[in-house]
Amino acid sequence: MKKSKKIYLDYASATPIDGDVLKVFNKALKENFANASAIHDMAVENKKVLDIARKDVARFFDAHSNEIIFTSGSTESNNIVIQNFKNIITTNIEHASILEPARLVNTTFVGVEASGIIDPKKIKKALTLETELVSVMYANNEIGTIQPIKEIAKEIRHFNKTNNTKILFHTDATQAVNYLDMNVERLGVDIMSFNAGKIYGPKGIGALYIRRRTPIKKIIFGGDQENGIRAGTENLPAILAFAEALKITEKIKDKENKRLKKLQEYFVNKLLKNQNSLGPRVAALNQTLDNFNSSKVKINGDLENRLPNNINITIPKIPSDLLVIELSARGVMVSAKSACKSGDEKASHVIQAIRESEQGESLLNKEVDGSIRFSMGRETTKQDIDYTLKSLSQILSKLKKWYT
């Protein structure tokens, strides 16, 4: 069964560029090509345009314009942050752009609960006089769980006040911008990473919010652009498109959140068809029901503290990559784990982390069942969900004789 129309359910990996954003981007490619660091008239004009865009981006986060540093994306932003410190605390479900550089320094990895959410008291317990930075993602890219950023910030502030320390708090907010409160003052963060490619803007442009007087040094050397923190000619067309994407996101966020939440509930209820509703928040973490042709479907991660566009499931014994390929053959595009790590053969480190928390012991990677992530977006419809679930049921019926 090959579907001519593609159903895209991989918005957590990348979003299509918004039509209005694309217009801004294309116009700037033609008109704003001059280097904003030069001193001739066209460059000076572009510098003014750049300053306005920086203010627009800062306004979205309730930040000052000189606290916004443009980068090539969240991977670069995260690397700038982590490579500035030697003693770090982070979680075991972070994106690879946090975990990989963190392994090069003295890092304490704090395990999340079986819900996929970190307990702020565990962060508090891990703090020492030597700690320089705490980095906790705002929302997980694989299972969509939302971390208690405000509560963690309070624990860090209390520790700093009590011990006269200056521990900084960073959050990778890449997945959160479309859906959550991004006010940096309310969140209590010192540094924040985000990008345009997840909010219907162009790829290749991201940013860092860095609170004033926060000691961050450059890791890429060259010119003195971006307050001396990020060398290289500013990508002005992408920056202007980034600012436009944030304006659109701000305008439609509440309405889109409600729409996606209804689709998410519909999706989950169809999966867990013996439930009449999400009920007591689907109490849901360990909910397994015998459906989809006798396959045990498990929802990964807490369903209450979760992004409204994310559903992540495990179907034991059936390889996730095979399910992704089978769904793709039917016109449904999903992911098995973070697209940045899809090339390796290991199970998702996020799923491994929550399984270890559930079972109270370390697991070999090969002992961890895979998962499938369905991440919805602005173009997702109820009909898309119906077709996806019908296709998944057919695939499981086909595969069960080999994998059950």
Angle value at C-alpha 9, between 6 and 10, nearest 5 degrees: 115
Q: List residues bridging with 246 in a β-sheet.
A: none
Q: Where are the domains of the chain?
A: 7-15+253-403, 19-250
Residues 6+ apart with CB under 8 A from 24: 240, 241, 244
- Across 112-148, b (16+ Cβ under 10 Å) vs e yields bbbbbbbbbebbbeebeeebbbbbbbbbbbbbbbbbb
Backbone angles phi, psi at 82, to 5 degrees: -65, -40
| Among the listed residues 206, 74, 62, the one whose alpha carbon sits nearest the alpha carbon of residue 138 | 74
Backbone angles phi, psi at 89, to 5 degrees: -120, 130
The amino acid that residue 39 corresponds to is I
289 burial (CB, 10 Å; 0-12 / 13-18 / 19+) is middle
Q: H or E stretch including 285?
A: none
Please report, in tens digits, the pLDDT of each residue of the chain (404 residues total).
Answer: 556 689 999 999 999 999 999 999 999 999 999 999 999 999 999 999 999 999 999 999 999 999 999 999 999 999 999 999 999 999 999 999 999 999 999 999 999 999 999 999 999 999 999 999 999 999 999 999 999 999 999 999 999 999 999 999 999 999 999 999 999 999 999 999 999 999 999 999 999 999 999 999 999 999 999 999 999 999 999 999 999 999 999 999 999 999 999 999 999 999 887 333 334 333 343 343 344 544 578 899 999 999 999 999 998 888 889 999 999 999 999 999 644 544 456 778 999 999 988 887 666 656 567 789 999 999 999 999 999 999 999 998 888 778 76
* Structural contact between residues 320 and 371, judged by C-beta atoms closer than 8 angstroms: yes
* Structural contact between residues 88 and 102, judged by C-beta atoms closer than 8 angstroms: yes
The DSSP letter of residue 95 is -
pLDDT at res. 367: 55
- Centre a 10 Å sphere on the Cβ of residue 398 and count the other Cβ atoms it contains: 11
- 7-15+253-403 and 19-250 share one fold: no
For tokens 């963060």, name the residue.
189
Strand pairing of 372-375 and 310-314? antiparallel
The amino acid that residue 24 corresponds to is V
Backbone angles phi, psi at 329, to 5 degrees: -65, -25
Q: CA-CA distance, 49 to 43, in Å (whole number)?
A: 10
Q: Which residues are catalytic?
A: 340
Give the architecture-level CATH label for domain 19-250. 3-Layer(aba) Sandwich (3.40)
Q: CA-CA distance, 243 to 60, in Å (whole number)?
A: 9
pLDDT at res. 283: 39
* Structural contact between residues 284 and 302, judged by C-beta atoms closer than 8 angstroms: yes
Please state, in angstroms and as integers, the Cα–Cα distance from residue 355 to each residue in 89, 247, 319, 404, following that order.
21, 39, 17, 21
Backbone angles phi, psi at 328, to 5 degrees: -60, -40
For tokens 């479309």, name the residue.
178
pLDDT at res. 45: 97
For tokens 């995260």, name the residue.
78
- Across 192-213, b (16+ Cβ under 10 Å) vs e yields bbbbbbbbbbbeebbbbbbbee
pTM of the model: 0.92
Residues 6+ apart with CB under 8 A from 256: 178, 378
CATH dotted code for 7-15+253-403: 3.90.1150.10
- Centre a 10 Å sphere on the Cβ of residue 36 and count the other Cβ atoms it contains: 20
* End-to-end C-alpha distance for the chain, whole angstroms: 23
Q: H or E stretch including 102?
A: helix 96-102
Q: In what order do the strands lie in the sheet with 206-210?
A: 68-71, 206-210, 191-195, 168-172, 133-135, 87-91, 106-110
